[in-house]
Amino acid sequence: MRFKKIDREDIKRLSKIVGKERISQGMSNLKLHSLDQSHHRESLPDVVIWPVKEEEVSEILSYANKKMIPVTAWGAGTSLEGNPIPLFGGIVLDFTLMNRILRIREEDFQADVQPGVIYQDLNYRLRHRGLFFPPDPGARATIGGIIANNASGIRSLRYGSARDNVLRLRVVLADGSIIDVGTRANKSSSGYDLLRLFVGSEGTLGIFVEATVRLRGIPEYTGSAIASFEKIEECAEAVTQIIKAGIIPACLEIMDQECIKVINKIKGIGLSVLPTLLLELHGGSSSQIKEEMEICSEICFSSGCKSFRKGLQKEEYSRIMEARYSLGESIRKANPGRIHTVLDVAVPISSFPELVSFAKKETERYKIPSYIFAHAGSGNLHLAFMGKKDEEEWKRIEEIKDRIVEKAILLGGTATGEHGVGIGKRKYMKIEHGEAISFMKKIKKLFDPNGILNPGKIFP
């Protein structure tokens, strides 16, 4: 695909759309929008633009489409697979100024938001209404970015991913036209489900300018526990048995002993240095929480649990969860001078113990710092590597990642559970989807015939 290099005339025309104060070719701004939190190589855009209304986005895309200028949407740059890196330069649309919470429809458990809203800020506004937006990827991610990557997070087992928590989208297409997909109704069987097509499309089919998201009630009763195991495989087996028992916790998080070492060192918490399971239950009564917690305790001990601490005090559990949310940052701090990359795969829950065992054996072959953690209840495994700036070491890391991804797909799983495809997972798309890739390309061609939207992503 041949794209146009932006020139003075283009800058002049684009400046008329948004004003000179919201467009920049300054090197500091270009570099800030050249890489995300992944290890992928930076790529500078030609210009960064901060729109504040949908009409501006529409005009910019219409102009870019006619001139064959690539356009990449930007939220907070917290993604982990190079999803928003502008590989072909062009325009980066930074949505941090389109950050208004437009309406909170409390009686319908819905909110209308612009794409630049940080999800923690929305939940802060909702806290006194007894409501929250469930997807929680941890970083200060924008809702637009969460939807674009179909992100999920720690409580996805009970509440689902972004795809389960978006009802309606307003989307600007490549030619500047604007469409609405989805409905504010909680269910619909009307026509093709274009809403779910756009969720997880990483800005390659259209750019979101407004979303109606689903809200949930803050549970009146909660319970938490932390369990330690001798082996991480036992930890994974306990997760499978808890799900099999019909219990749907809010979260079931696994961390291996290397993760616990880092948490203890960086956060000073003092947990037992063993593979650990974090468990959180939400329910409608204290008796329900108590009954389910007893079942979980029995299952954990029957799976080889060494200790099971339930009824954690709110302050202690908050400290542990904060440490879990900031685990990626703590791992980087514990390995100065090394480069961070995170593997993200998911499998059916019955195959999760086998995948964990396979990943553990693969990492033990090499003396590269690695850390296994997982949204285990969703069968979603993460494996963080901290590699030296050494070509041979990175070759070995990529080989390990390849084997684990291929194993996940062989088990009926996916190359990416929540981080998206971006740059890092493109090479696995053919293995996972086979001939369906050709139909994905046709859909891309239909919505974006000139290929200007976030080019170079998803497809091998």
**What pLDDT was estimated at residue 229?**
98
**What pLDDT was estimated at residue 121?**
98
pLDDT tens digit sequence for 444-456: 999 999 999 999 9
Q: Are residues 261 and 165 in the same domain?
A: no
Residue 410 pLDDT greater than 70, yes or no = yes
Q: Is 38 contained in some domain?
A: yes
Q: Are residues 300 and 257 in the same domain?
A: yes
**What pLDDT was estimated at residue 138?**
81
**What pLDDT was estimated at residue 366?**
81
Domain harbouring 283, CATH code: 3.40.462.10
Domain harbouring 41, CATH code: 3.30.43.10
| Helix extents (H) in 35-133 | 54-67, 119-126
pLDDT tens digit sequence for 38-48: 989 999 999 99
**What pLDDT was estimated at residue 365?**
85
- Position 395 confidence tier, pLDDT thresholds 50, 70, 90: very high
**What pLDDT was estimated at residue 305?**
96
Q: Are residues 197 and 234 in the same domain?
A: no
Question: Contact at 8 Å (CB) between 88 and 107?
Answer: no
Q: Is 351 contained in some domain?
A: yes
DSSP-derived 3-state class of residue 385: strand
Residue with tokens 């062009």: 90
pLDDT tens digit sequence for 265-304: 999 999 999 999 999 999 999 999 999 999 999 999 999 9
386-425 as b/e: b if 16+ CB within 10 A: bbeeeeebbeebeebbeebbebbbebebbbbbbbbbbbbb
**What CA–CA distance (Å, rounded) separates 285 from 282?**
9
Residue 1 pLDDT greater than 80, yes or no = no
- Please name the residues in contact with 415: beta carbons below 8 A apart, sequence gap of 6 or more: 345, 405, 408, 409, 421, 425, 428, 429, 431, 432
**What CA–CA distance (Å, rounded) separates 239 from 255?**
12
Q: Are residues 50 and 75 in the same domain?
A: yes
Q: Are residues 276 and 362 in the same domain?
A: yes
Which of 182, 217, 252 is at the close of a domain?
A: 217
pLDDT tens digit sequence for 213-269: 999 999 999 999 999 999 999 999 999 999 999 999 999 999 999 999 999 999 999
**What CA–CA distance (Å, rounded) separates 330 from 119?**
22
pLDDT tens digit sequence for 148-157: 999 999 999 9
Q: Are residues 270 and 395 in the same domain?
A: yes
Can you name the residues that pair with 111 across neighbouring β-strands? 104, 213
Q: Are residues 376 and 242 in the same domain?
A: yes
**What CA–CA distance (Å, rounded) separates 227 from 44?**
46
Which of 217, 244, 263 is at the close of a domain?
A: 217
**What pLDDT was estimated at residue 460?**
86
Q: Are residues 190 and 237 in the same domain?
A: no
Q: Are residues 75 and 112 in the same domain?
A: no
pLDDT tens digit sequence for 65-90: 999 999 999 999 999 999 999 999 99
Q: Are residues 288 and 341 in the same domain?
A: yes
Q: Is 456 contained in some domain?
A: no
Nearest to 149 by CA among 314, 344, 13, 284: 344
Nearest to 262 by CA among 171, 373, 389: 373
Q: Is 256 contained in some domain?
A: yes
Q: Average per-residue pLDDT in the chain?
A: 96
**Low-confidence winner among 13-27, 70-84, 358-372, 424-438 (lowest mean pLDDT):** 358-372
Q: Are residues 197 and 227 in the same domain?
A: no
**CA 447 to each of CA 163, 176, 177, 197, 443: distance values in angstroms, whole numbers, following the listed order:** 20, 11, 11, 11, 6
Token pair belonging to 181:
């997909």
The count of domains in the chain is: 3
Residue with tokens 């100024």: 97
Domain of 350, in residue numbers: 221-410
Residue 2 pLDDT greater than 90, yes or no = no
**What CA–CA distance (Å, rounded) separates 453 from 69?**
9
pLDDT tens digit sequence for 413-429: 999 999 999 999 999 99
- Please name the residues in contact with 283: beta carbons below 8 A apart, sequence gap of 6 or more: 219, 221, 222, 223, 289, 292
